[in-house]
Each structure stands twice: as C-alpha cells, then as structure tokens.
Amino acid sequence: MTAKPAKRWLGFVQEHATIYDDDLVYGSKILAIGDAPQSHVNLAAPENIFYEYLARIANHLKVLRSSNRPLKMLHLGAGALTLARWASVVYPSSTHVAVDIERELLDFVLTQLPLPVDCDLTPLVADARAVLNDELDGKQFDVIVLDIFSGPEAPEHLTTSDYYSELKQSLTDDGLLFVNIGDDPPLDFTSSQIRAAETSFDFVMLSSSTQMFTKRFPGNLILTASKERIPEDLVLRCQEAGPYPSEVRHSLELDRFSKP
C-alpha cells in the first residue's frame, strides 16, 4: 500500500515540499518542491542512485578516490541527502556537512527520511557562500558537491569567479569539486561556469550524456574541478563509468565547447 505523501511548507522559496513513494523502485522515496521532483532516495539500498546526474558524480568519485579512504564531504544544497547516504555505504567512516538555506527542508528531510545508522552528518542552515567564511571558516574538505544551480536563474553570488576561488580554498590539496549544472539550449550558463571555474582551478572537466554536448537539449551537466591535473587514463575511466551514453570533455575540447 502506498503511504500518504508528507508535506511541508518552505518559507524561503514559498513552495510546498512533498515526499512520496516511488512505486517503481521498492523502498524509494521522491522529494519534490512545488511540482518539480528534486531528489530520489533508495532507503532500502542507499548505495543505489536513481537520478542520472547524481549517479555520474558518484561514478566519477569512485574512479578518482579509493573507497579505502574515508572522505570529508561538504554538500552545498542538501536536497534529500542522496550522496551523503550513498557515501556512508561506499566510503565508510566518512563525515558530511550538509548546507541548505531552507531551514524547513533540512528538518523535513531528516524527519521523513532517516539517515543510515552509520552516516555521520552535520546539517547547517546557511547561505552556500557565506557559510565558507562563517561556520566553516578554516575548514577544508576532500569533496565539495555544489547542487543548487538551475540555469541562469541561479543565485548570482554562487556563479562568480570569486566564489570558485573560495571553493578552492575550502578544498584539500587533492580535493575535488563537483557542480551540478542544469541548463537549457544553447547552454550559455554552462559555458559561463566553465570559464569561472577555470580562473581558479588547474583542471576542469565537463561530463554528461553525449546529446547534451550538441547544445540542442535541456538537461544536467557535471563540472568537475581539481587543484591538480587529473591523468588522462582516469578521465577516460570516468567516461567509461557512465551512466551511458557518457561523454567527458576537458582542456582544448572544453575550450571549444565553451566558446560562444
């Protein structure tokens, strides 16, 4: 029997958040804000990720960082905490900080969708930029996931070169930044974020389905940035890890893609 959906009013965005059963995937829940599904959580098997863009981040991370090493992860934009749940299984003993400006959302998710027992997570209600110089001042993370963007309407102060510089300072020397970028044709916003990231990071790559690189379709792309150059064999393994079809561009190919 399908459980009755749970609802909570979100004061910041002035929308209802709803959590309801995914009838297609046993033990799974969907978080929607307004009429738009935002996150998918498999409570029965948190190591399984349903949404393609989150699976792409998870697959990149598995290629680039050994599961033998616990990670310090910062999640900017909490959603349903899908990646924190996943990492609690794949990277045991990792620690997580989840930041969201919507107080009611964090409380709603943690109440309705309990974390795995071994998920060590600290929630913070804060702006995704101000928090780096306030509550998290001086702290560094192995992985930062920025999952707030939704095209050109993204908060401007989270899209600038200065912000990418601050994100870089919040990473360890071998740390990784993952940015989920939702965009519409001709992907001008994506191009602006590539250029902003390249002002601070030594290596930037972009990954998505092959069709997204035609710039003719709306969808999600994953920007990965690092202080250190990622070897070509690992870039290829990221592409091979999927989800399929999968394409990864960096260096000259990325420069050509991001030009007007």
Helix axes 82-90, 52-64, angle to 10 degrees: 30
Q: Residue 152: what pLDDT?
A: 67
Question: Contact 222/208 with Cβ under 8 angstroms?
Answer: yes
Percent of the chain whose pLDDT exceeds 70: 98
Encoded amino acid at 2, one letter = T
Angstrom distance (rounded) from CA 67 to CA 176:
15
Segments making up each domain of the chain, as ranges: 50-258
Question: Contact 30/109 with Cβ under 8 angstroms?
Answer: no
CATH architecture of 50-258: 3-Layer(aba) Sandwich (3.40)
Q: Residue 53: what pLDDT?
A: 94
Question: Contact 213/62 with Cβ under 8 angstroms?
Answer: no
Q: Residue 151: what pLDDT?
A: 67
Q: Which residue is associated with the tokens 């939704």?
A: 150
Residue 247 burial class via C-beta count within 10 angstroms: exposed 0-12, middle 13-18, buried 19 and up: middle
Q: Residue 125: what pLDDT?
A: 96
24: its two tokens: 């297609």
Q: Residue 60: what pLDDT?
A: 98
Q: Residue 1: what pLDDT?
A: 53
Angstrom distance (rounded) from CA 106 to CA 128:
14
Q: Residue 2: what pLDDT?
A: 66
Q: Residue 232: what pLDDT?
A: 96
Q: Residue 254: what pLDDT?
A: 94
Give the CA diameter of the chain: 53
* Sheet (strand 171-183) strand order: 120-125, 95-100, 72-76, 141-146, 171-183, 219-226, 203-208, 247-250
| Regions in the chain scoring below 70 on pLDDT | 1-2, 149-152
Q: Residue 193: what pLDDT?
A: 95
